[in-house]
Chain A
């Protein structure tokens, strides 16, 4: 009914001006409609861009500072009376001196350093001064001594991590006012840090340890790094690639080229599409039940994570591969069959190479998805505090490890505010990995894609 009335109204409007050169009411309305639609589209895109920049901006502003870290240069006298009482320089015996035994050496080296530079800060005790050094320091000095036992008795120069609060001071996280209220740092320590900086003892430099060091406990955020998480994620990606690519490609070739069209293949097809839409946490539950509880694989291990993520990635790869195979024109298959090639020769000599760019693109996008996945890993014990680096593969696949996205999650739950910066830094690293993978996918597609 309404259609009929508008049509007749439009007709009435049209009649008033018959000329094409005069813009009629109806044309105006249509043009206004189009303008509105364009505006809405533009608004949608602008909104998307603003949201993206807001997100990236907040991550970058929080996280870029994690790539720099404050260090203090100290000349530490490795006192043989304390570190090697027997005097044999035997690392096994020296290992009996724990990090608690090393802490005083570092504290006295700092006091020396302060004296040497003629620094005096009012109201600062030696104990407070010692607080500007990271609690990681005794461990790093001890590791050095155990690796170089002959250095005991000498004075060695170390670049030692500054405490997280001091580091935060140079990154704007800690101020004189907040230090007044903060129980872990006091303004005198910040004054001392400033003076040490003037003297060139304290420096902020690029934080390579962020990429190589393992996670650290809540008391030493300045030492926490992504090393174990990067290795864990790499191991998982190796497993995902090694399992899901061959299985996915084989399944797609069979379904696309060999399988008869019947109800069974239809059911399989629908189920693959369904699997692609299953929430990832479900795969985590499956992984826990099958791989850990039934198969007895270890918890927190990249092998379980890799298997779970393989299951998750398979549908994506199968769907992409089938689309790529479908895109190869039938004439190529017919030509190959026509000159006497067998079906298998046709596929492996002609169809598959032509479909390869599409398959690889699908695989890389699937991998990128798997790399950023967190939910299934929560259930299989990957959200753990892991400090030991996993061994080299294949045994290393069974060692406990973390993964990049869960490391982000892990750090956001920590009490010390310095971990917020670390988490944002980890997000930046993860985003860079994802960007590299997606760019590779785009380049592959651009380079090798053939159109018919």
Chain B
């Protein structure tokens, strides 16, 4: 009898649970794993210094965050999406069709992408053209488009050490990969003059695609996990070169030897000045309809871009975020809740 009673009580409780409406008092954030450490630093300081609870921050990737943001308006949807690449028109359309009319675009700063190898290995001084030649499926040799013949970095560029080419690059689901494709492979393709040869041989569209087509003979390895995985793979493969975010490198300078790009060594300074070529802006997107509904949301957004946090002397810069020189403009925009205009 007792068991039956308990079972009945549990069933009643279960149905009560599913119908209970619960007002949310915590900000919910989701998105890019590159922005995640910055968002947690801000969330932690926010929870400490404001009367509001600490926001809940989730990773999952830029694309997943934007998709969740655009699911609709209401307490069981997220308030902010972190993104390491700019929002796409398809996301905006998706948002609009789900009733999310106004979103704010907040640029928090810049992130450098660094190329690093084991601390005990030789020094590397790369140019984008080196990376293109080392990793592209097809390269141009003596004016002919041929399958990539290079085995060592020395083959690619006589100034580089005699070390076998092996690169761990971010997988295609990462926002970092997009930057790598554009700022390294495409630029290298253009610089080395391969683009013209590709276009001549294959036509406009296919020629551009050939710039970012990577060789598949095991020399370039996609890492779908986090930078910690890349680091572990480097540890097992001392010959390899990995692609990391600047802040991750800053936290592991005792294990990694960083390579220069176009003669510039990556640091918060060189990225901020624009000398280091491989960098990208980081964003978060705020759902304006939630601003007066979720307690503390407006304060959180303002706190994130305040000089105390995102400024040059703030904790985010100390962790590896490159401060935005136009931060004051962003602060103004956030205060006025200016929604983002159409993409240009």
Task: Name A's B-contacting residues (CB within 8 A).
Answer: 95, 98-100, 135, 139, 142, 174, 178-179, 181-184, 216-220, 242-243, 246-247, 249-250, 291-292, 295-300, 303, 307, 348, 352, 381, 383-388, 395, 397-400, 412-417
Task: Tell me whether B40 is interfacial, beta carbon within 8 Å.
Answer: yes
Nearest residue in B to A378 (C-beta to C-beta)?
B60
Task: Name B's A-contacting residues (CB within 8 A).
Answer: 1, 3-4, 6-7, 10-11, 13-14, 17-22, 24, 26, 28, 30, 33, 36-37, 39-41, 43-45, 47-49, 51, 53-54, 56-60, 75-76, 78, 119, 225-228, 247-248, 250-255, 308, 315, 318-319
Contact B48 A99, beta carbon cutoff 8 Å: yes
Contact B319 A219, beta carbon cutoff 8 Å: yes
Nearest residue in A to B4 (C-beta to C-beta)?
A250
Contacts of B44 in A (CB 8 A): 216-217, 220, 387
Contacts of B228 in A (CB 8 A): 412-415
Cross-chain pairs A/B with CB under 8 angstroms, 11 sampled: A99-B48, A99-B49, A181-B254, A250-B3, A291-B18, A298-B75, A299-B56, A303-B17, A387-B44, A395-B22, A415-B252
Give the CA-CA distance A348 to B5 in the complex, in Å: 13
CB contact between B58 and one of A246, A385, A415 (< 8 Å): that residue: A385
Contacts of B255 in A (CB 8 A): 417
Max chain B C-beta neighbours (<10 A), residue from A98, A178, A219, A383:
A219
Contact A415 B28, beta carbon cutoff 8 Å: no
Least CB distance, A174 to chain B, in whole angstroms:
8
Contacts known (A217-B41, A242-B13, A296-B76); A416 close to B251, Cβ less than 8 A: yes
Contact A218 B40, beta carbon cutoff 8 Å: yes
Contact A415 B54, beta carbon cutoff 8 Å: no
Contact A298 B252, beta carbon cutoff 8 Å: no
Q: Which 4 A-B pairs have the closest CB atoms?
A: A246-B7, A178-B254, A387-B54, A217-B40
Nearest residue in A to B18 (C-beta to C-beta)?
A295
Contacts known (A246-B10, A385-B58, A387-B54); A398 close to B22, Cβ less than 8 A: yes
Nearest residue in A to B49 (C-beta to C-beta)?
A98
Give the CA-CA distance A386 to B3 in the complex, in Å: 36
Contact B51 A413, beta carbon cutoff 8 Å: no
Give the CA-CA distance A352 to B2 in the complex, in Å: 12
Contact B26 A400, beta carbon cutoff 8 Å: yes
Least CB distance, A393 to chain B, in whole angstroms:
11
Contacts of A249 in B (CB 8 A): 3, 7
Interface SS of A by simple majority: loop
Give the CA-CA distance A243 to B11 in the complex, in Å: 8
Contact A99 B76, beta carbon cutoff 8 Å: no
Contacts of A178 in B (CB 8 A): 254
Contacts known (A142-B48, A300-B56); A218 close to B26, Cβ less than 8 A: no
CB contact between B56 and one of A218, A386, A398 (< 8 Å): that residue: A386
Contacts of A383 in B (CB 8 A): 58-60
Give the CA-CA distance A115 to B260 in the complex, in Å: 42
Give the CA-CA distance A340 to B28 in the complex, in Å: 61
Contact A219 B318, beta carbon cutoff 8 Å: yes
Give the CA-CA distance A21 to B137 in the complex, in Å: 74
Least CB distance, B314 to chain A, in whole angstroms:
9
Contacts of B18 in A (CB 8 A): 291, 295, 297
Nearest residue in A to B21 (C-beta to C-beta)?
A296
Least CB distance, A208 to chain B, in whole angstroms:
20
Least CB distance, A166 to chain B, in whole angstroms:
14
Give the CA-CA distance A413 to B58 in the complex, in Å: 12
Give the CA-CA distance A100 to B315 in the complex, in Å: 10
Nearest residue in A to B77 (C-beta to C-beta)?
A299
Contacts of A184 in B (CB 8 A): 250-251, 253
Contacts of B10 in A (CB 8 A): 242-243, 246-247
A216-B44, A297-B76, A398-B22 are known; give 5 further A-B pairs, CB within 8 A: A98-B49, A184-B253, A219-B315, A298-B76, A395-B22
Contact A415 B57, beta carbon cutoff 8 Å: no
Least CB distance, A97 to chain B, in whole angstroms:
9
Contacts of A181 in B (CB 8 A): 119, 253-254
Contacts of A100 in B (CB 8 A): 308
Give the CA-CA distance A291 to B10 in the complex, in Å: 17
Contacts known (A249-B3, A299-B28); A182 close to B56, Cβ less than 8 A: no
CB contact between A182 and one of B11, B30, B254 (< 8 Å): that residue: B254
Give the CA-CA distance A416 to B250 in the complex, in Å: 9
Contacts of A399 in B (CB 8 A): 26
Nearest residue in A to B54 (C-beta to C-beta)?
A387
Give the CA-CA distance A352 to B3 in the complex, in Å: 10
Least CB distance, B112 to chain A, in whole angstroms:
14
CB contact between B22 and one of A182, A291, A298, A385 (< 8 Å): that residue: A298
